[in-house]
């Protein structure tokens, strides 16, 4: 399959997700939440059930699948390159979310192809959150396409000091099987034979967005006084795979202006699994 550069600019129809506390609790358990986070898991929580802003990826799945198909790339060879969520306001504990997606760019990274997708979601016509997805197609570069534009400068990890906080949290061997119930059903995260066929003989890997959710929970605990609804923006790039059962180690540096820079690793392995990551706390 070859990329269809004429698809750049294509916008999907609006997709609708009607959700309730069960939808939210399933997602929140998928990103590792424990019983001390009951406010995000129990519909009877005092003050109403809270929602992690990273839930924003769930209503986007249908639009993202359509856009990936429009790109013309081989979906069997995709891995997640990066993710950004921007929240305009806290997500209600139930309702109908309408989401449209746009294919913003197809870029040639020489060894890989990169597709940039954006979604916009609203409730009752009012914007609630936006997402930006960087999807990497392995082995699909060299098609003489455009190079990606230069990325804007973003908050980064200070080189002159140790992290202000560290969170270590184990994923379960079943973590990917639980996370996929929320809608990301790529067999790479469930089927050992498929995982081996596409280059992961160790077995199915954890969804990048599951790791993203684990790190967002760490940020909420350490940089937002336990209130994830204060996270206005969370951006990250995925560098290395995580396998279910790995322990994710998140380190954070408090910066000026309500921002925090983070990096995450899998315990026992030298290379970070998530970098160029930062959040803005409102």
Band of pLDDT at residue 193, cut at 50, 70 and 90: very high
Each residue of 223-246: pLDDT tens digit? 999 999 999 999 999 999 999 999
What average pLDDT does the structure give for the chain?
96
Please state the domain extents for the chain.
5-281
| Tokens matching residue 114 | 């990169």
* Residue 4 CB contacts under 8 Å (≥ 6 apart), including other chains: 70, 71, 72, 106
Cα 132 to the center of its chain, rounded Å: 9
Residues 32 and 217: beta-carbon distance below 8 Å: yes
| Burial environment of residue 89 by CB neighbours within 10 A (0 to 12, 13 to 18, 19 or more) | middle
pTM for the model stands at 0.95
Each residue of 137-163: pLDDT tens digit? 999 999 999 999 988 889 999 999 999
CA–CA separation, 56 and 29 (whole Å): 15
Q: What does the pLDDT read at residue 1?
A: 57
Band of pLDDT at residue 67, cut at 50, 70 and 90: very high
Q: CATH homologous superfamily for 5-281?
A: Hotdog Thioesterase (3.10.129.10)
């Amino acid at each position: 399959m070859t990329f269809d550069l004429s698809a750049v600019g294509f916008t999907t129809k609006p997709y609708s997700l009607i959700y309730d506390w069960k939808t939210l609790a399933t997602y929140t358990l998928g990103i590792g939440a424990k019983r001390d986070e009951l406010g995000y898991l129990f519909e009877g929580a005092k003050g109403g059930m809270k929602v992690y802003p990273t839930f924003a990826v769930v209503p986007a799945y249908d639009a993202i699948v359509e856009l990936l198909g429009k790109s013309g790339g081989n979906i069997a060879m995709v891995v997640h390159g990066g993710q950004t969520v921007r929240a305009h306001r806290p997500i209600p504990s139930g309702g109908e979310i309408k989401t449209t997606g746009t294919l913003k760019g197809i870029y040639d990274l020489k060894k890989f192809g990169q597709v940039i997708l954006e979604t916009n979601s609203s409730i009752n016509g009012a914007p609630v959150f936006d997402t930006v997805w960087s999807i990497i197609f392995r082995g699909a570069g060299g098609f003489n396409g455009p190079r990606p534009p230069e990325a804007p400068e973003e908050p980064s990890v200070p080189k002159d000091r140790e992290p202000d906080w560290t969170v270590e949290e184990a994923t379960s061997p079943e973590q990917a099987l639980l996370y996929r119930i929320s809608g990301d059903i790529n067999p790479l995260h469930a089927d050992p034979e498929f995982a081996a066929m596409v280059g992961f003989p160790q077995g199915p890997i954890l969804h990048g967005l599951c790791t993203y959710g684990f790190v967002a929970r760490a940020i909420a605990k350490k940089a937002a006084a336990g209130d994830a609804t204060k996270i206005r923006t969370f951006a990250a790039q995925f560098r290395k795979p995580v396998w279910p059962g790995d322990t994710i180690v998140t380190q954070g540096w408090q910066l000026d202006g309500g921002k925090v820079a983070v990096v995450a690793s899998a315990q026992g392995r030298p290379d970070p699994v998530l970098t160029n990551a930062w959040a803005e706390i409102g």
